[in-house]
Amino acid sequence: MNAPHVEEFLTLQEIVEAARRKLPPGPWSYLVGGAETETTVRRNRQALDSIAFRPRVLRDVSRIDSRAAFCGRPARLPRLVAPFGGLESLAEGGAAAAARAAAQFGVPQMLSSVCKPGLEETAAAAETTRFFQLYVRGDDAWTDDFVRRARDHGYSAFCLTVDVAMYSRRERDLIGRFIKPWRATAGDGAAFQSGLSWKQVKRYKDKFPDFPLIIKGIATAEDARMALEHGVDVIYVSNHGGRQLDHGLGSVAALPEVLKEAGGKVPVWVDGGFMRGTDVVKAIALGAKAVGIGRLCGLGLAAGGPAGLVRALELLEDEVRIALGLLGVTSFAELTPQHLATAAPATEPGVFSAFPHLREP
Ligand SMILES: Cc1cc2nc3c(=O)[nH]c(=O)nc-3n(C[C@H](O)[C@H](O)[C@H](O)COP(=O)(O)O)c2cc1C
């Protein structure tokens, strides 16, 4: 069967199925897998599925505005393309293809330092709001070089991912003997990442006070407080999509304590298991300012290159707008925790449990 033209994807599940057909087993397991027992992966979905909606009716929702802003810059949805190493193993053009899709649709991209092409080429590929995320694999001078290059190439903020003090055991990759080319050639440098502490955050803020700093991988109120004390500009709640510490809380379950601690002083972003429009609406109703897409972005790119990712974002947007309207609000700003209730999940959680009609290819 020929692959469908991307406009023929009418549901997100069709995008997942097309990606599955296109990707060889190694990149597929790298994309979808998590750490060890993948309990954190499942909890990401379980936590989202444990939130139900309390809709309001008869509120004139004939005009819905689902736009958002990131660091003062407008976006078509409160979503960002989360940082993603090895995008080049999923689609031709790698990070540049993702940049083109983000620009075409109108959401920001966060580029990972372990992704090809590098920060200069990706910046040149498309005009969009972009952030740069670094895995620290060198000394202070090495880090500062990335900060300056990101700043000089129009990135709006710098991100340190801090939930990777140790590289986890990704058992799907181990069992499949999948050796990621970018890890095989990246050299070691892992000791720099394990050696990170709040001292480096302080050093960054002292040295680059005008280049906003995002800390990705916060999962507790205690660390949210540390981030505030160190002048961090955005707190990004994440468990790396369940790919690092196994047996963590679902991301959206950790979100309320972080939001409470942040107290509106800085924006809080979140990712982990967000696959559907309703998922985004839940996080924003809790108080997050934006949601990152990880796997779904990779699936869209694998399914149809930049056009596949744009199509995934369009379908998400459609779902978001329907959810907002059915909740009786016309914009994200009107959402409150009053629109939410806790409920027992109706689905067995899993990396693809948001897609109940998935036909295993
Ligand atoms: C294949 C893959 C590669 C990733 N690479 C990075 C990375 O280089 N840097 C980073 O901060 N996070 C990375 N992440 C984590 C994502 O940024 C994000 O936190 C996670 O995917 C969100 O969960 P989701 O995939 O369920 O949406 C990666 C995730 C995946 C699936």
- Residues 236, 257 contacting (CB under 8 angstroms): no
47: left (phi over 0), alpha (psi -120 to 50) or beta: alpha
Q: Helix or strand or coil: residue 114?
A: coil
Q: 198-207 vs 140-152: helix axis angle to the nearest 10?
A: 50
Q: What is the pLDDT of residue 1?
A: 44
Q: Is 273 in the pocket of ligand 1 (CB under 6 A)?
A: yes
Q: Residue 239 C-alpha to ligand 1 middle, in angstroms?
A: 9
Q: Residue 1 C-alpha to ligand 1 middle, in angstroms?
A: 31
Tokens 């006070």 sit on residue: 209
Q: Is 272 in the pocket of ligand 1 (CB under 6 A)?
A: yes
Among 49, 84, 216, 269, name the best residue to mutate to test ligand 1's pocket (greatest count of ligand atoms within 8 A of Cβ).
84
End-to-end CA distance of the chain: 12
Q: Helix or strand or coil: residue 98?
A: helix
Q: Which residues contact 102 (CB under 8 A, 6 or more apart)?
A: 81, 108, 109, 126, 128, 130, 309
Q: Which residues contact 345 (CB under 8 A, 6 or more apart)?
A: 46, 49, 50
Q: Is 238 in the pocket of ligand 1 (CB under 6 A)?
A: yes
- Residues 299, 351 contacting (CB under 8 angstroms): no
Identify the active-site residue in 5, 153, 230, 240: 240
Q: Is 14 in the pocket of ligand 1 (CB under 6 A)?
A: no
Task: Report how far residue 108's alpha carbon sits from residue 267's, in angstroms, rounded to the nearest whole number.
Answer: 15
- Burial class of residue 71 (count of CB atoms within 10 Å of its CB; 0-12, 13-18, 19+): middle
Q: Known catalytic residue: 240?
A: yes
Task: Report how far residue 193's alpha carbon sits from residue 199's, in angstroms, rounded to the nearest whole number.
Answer: 13
Q: Residue 325 C-alpha to ligand 1 middle, in angstroms?
A: 30
Query: 3-state SS string over 123-191?
Result: HHHCCCCEEEEECCCCCHHHHHHHHHHHHHCCCCEEEEECCCCCCCCCHHHHHCCCCCHHHHHCCCCHH
CA torsion through residues 344, 346, 347, 348, sign: positive
pTM of the predicted model, to two decimals?
Answer: 0.97
Q: Which residues contact 58 (CB under 8 A, 6 or more apart)?
A: 328
Q: Which residues contact 163 (CB under 8 A, 6 or more apart)?
A: 216, 217, 219, 238, 239, 240, 244, 245
Give the number of the atom of ligand 1 that is nearest the alpha carbon of residue 238: 19
Q: Would you give per-residue pLDDT tens digits along the chain (361 residues)? A: 455 688 899 999 999 999 999 999 999 999 999 999 999 999 999 999 999 999 999 999 999 999 999 988 999 999 999 999 999 999 999 999 999 999 999 999 999 999 999 999 999 999 999 999 999 999 999 999 999 999 999 999 999 999 999 999 999 999 999 987 766 655 678 899 999 999 999 999 999 999 999 999 999 999 999 999 999 999 999 999 999 999 999 999 999 999 999 999 999 999 999 999 999 999 999 999 999 999 999 999 999 999 999 999 999 999 999 999 999 999 999 999 999 999 999 999 999 999 999 987 5
